[in-house]
Structures are given as structure tokens and as C-alpha cells.
Chain A
Amino acid sequence: DVKVTQSSRYLVKRTGEKVFLECVQDMDHENMFWYRQDPGLGLRLIYFSYDVKMKEKGDIPEGYSVSREKKERFSLILESASTNQTSMYLCASSTIAGGSSYNEQFFGPGTRLTVL
């Protein structure tokens, strides 16, 4: 059973703080993703990674960076948190097996981040 875990369910930080969100998957998936979810906007892709030390910008990368030093772990970093980064952050992973352009993404439970 695929499991994607996120380091915190709820997080409260102050403006200007550096914030680390951690995600770990246990299914040896190649691809990992970070999304943010906001009411009325759905899920928006921030960054994704298809291999260790590889990263690609998603649709809204501004204000974020990522790190993937190990295959199972993908970190999202807010260098200087701002109030407009208050959101639900979701991590996901997927395999690239089968040659399909799509493989199911498995999501973690999310981290609700509040920036004051």
C-alpha cells in the first residue's frame, strides 16, 4: 500500500521565517510533486522532481524552492514566508513504469500552513 507522509499536519509561522515542508514516500516512486490547494483555485503545481537532484518548475514556483537529495524524500522550502503563502500544501508521488504519459499520483494528507 503506497504511503506518502508529510512532516506536519498543521504549521504556523511568522512572516519572513524560513519554512521547510518535508515529504516522504515508501514506494520507490521516481516522480514527486508539490502542490498548493486554495479555495476556488484547486490544486496548483509548485515544483516537481523526476529523479534525485532533479527538479522542474511548475505553474507557481515563485517564492519556493525544493530539494531532493534522496529518492524517497522531497522537501519544499519557503525562503521567506509571506502571508500569501498561507495555504494547504500537498505532496504527491508517482511511478514512471509502463510507458504511459500518466501514472496515478498518490497524495499525502497535506500540511495546512498559516503565515502570520
Chain B
Amino acid sequence: QKEVEQDPGPLSVPEGAIVSLNCTYSNSAFQYFMWYRQYSRKGPELLMYTYSSGNKEDGRFTAQVDKSSKYISLFIRDSQPSDSATYLCAMTGNTGKLIFGQGTTLQVKP
């Protein structure tokens, strides 16, 4: 069993839809939770970063962490075609070494 599980999709939604991306994990030592966005033929870029449990909002993006369920989510409101990318969850504990999910490919259709 992988330490971090993420549905690879692909996920296709119409413009304006609310998108929900999720990851589950098994290691209770994870404390830092990240979402990276990767456009085609580019390297990943950090989108959101959360420490421990709770919510964090940044514009149209909301990251949620539920440590009791070992479940993290990224919500995108009013999705735009420019949000079309692969979204990677990543997490780490005390080591600083990142463990990535498989990535979910999202397409937002105009």
C-alpha cells in the first residue's frame, strides 16, 4: 500500500464548477501538507501549504486537512480553463522528505 493515495483521474469539469481533489495517507507522523500544481511540460509549483489540521484559503483555492481521518482536500471554486493542470498532493513529517501522491489531471472546459 502506498503511503499517499491520490486518484489520478482524469477529471473533466465545465468552467465555473467547484472542483474537489483528495488524498489519503497512512503515516500519522505527517504534519506538513502541500498541494503542487504542474502545467504540461513544466515542473511542479507550490500552490497551498498547511501545517497540521484545519483549513486554509487563498482566493479560489481552499485546502483542508483532517488528520483524524488521514485525508486532505483541495477545493477550487469557480474553476477556470487556466486551472487545467495536474495537481499533486505531498506531505512530510520531521524528516522534511516529501512523499507525493500520484497526481490528478484536471481539465476545465470552457
Which residues of A are interface residues toward B (Cβ below 8 A)? 4, 9, 31, 39-45, 48, 58, 90, 92, 100-105, 107-110
Q: Is A42 within 8 A of B95, CB to CB?
A: no
Given known A42-B6, A90-B44, contact A104–B49 (CB-CB < 8 A) = yes
* Chain A residues in 8 Å Cβ range of B93: 101
Given known A90-B44, A107-B43, A107-B44, contact A45–B103 (CB-CB < 8 A) = no
Given known A40-B8, A102-B92, contact A110–B43 (CB-CB < 8 A) = yes
Q: Is B96 within 8 A of A103, CB to CB?
A: yes
* Complex Cα–Cα for A31 and B97 (A): 11
B32: which of A42, A92, A101, A109 is its contact (CB, 8 Å)? A101
B88 interfacial contact with A, CB 8 Å: yes
Scan B13-57; emit 1 where CB is below 8 A from any A CB, else 0. Answer: 000000000000000000110100000011111100100000000
Which of B4, B31, B103 has most chain A Cβ within 10 Å?
B103
Chain B: minimal CB distance from A89 (Å): 11
Chain B: minimal CB distance from A38 (Å): 9
* Chain A residues in 8 Å Cβ range of B42: 109-110
Classify chain B's interface size: 20 to 34
- Chain B residue nearest in CB terms to A94: B96
Given known A42-B100, A42-B102, A43-B88, contact A101–B95 (CB-CB < 8 A) = yes
Q: List 12 A-B contacts (CB under 8 A).
A: A42-B101, A42-B103, A43-B88, A48-B97, A101-B32, A101-B92, A101-B94, A101-B96, A102-B32, A102-B34, A104-B49, A110-B41
* Chain B residues in 8 Å Cβ range of A104: 46, 49
Scan B54-95; emit 1 where CB is below 8 A from any A CB, else 0. Answer: 000000000000000000000000000000000010101111
* Chain B residues in 8 Å Cβ range of A102: 32, 34, 49, 92, 96
Q: Is A4 within 8 A of B43, CB to CB?
A: yes
* Chain B residues in 8 Å Cβ range of A109: 41-43
- Chain A residue nearest in CB terms to B102: A42
* Complex Cα–Cα for A31 and B95 (A): 13
- Chain B residue nearest in CB terms to A112: B41
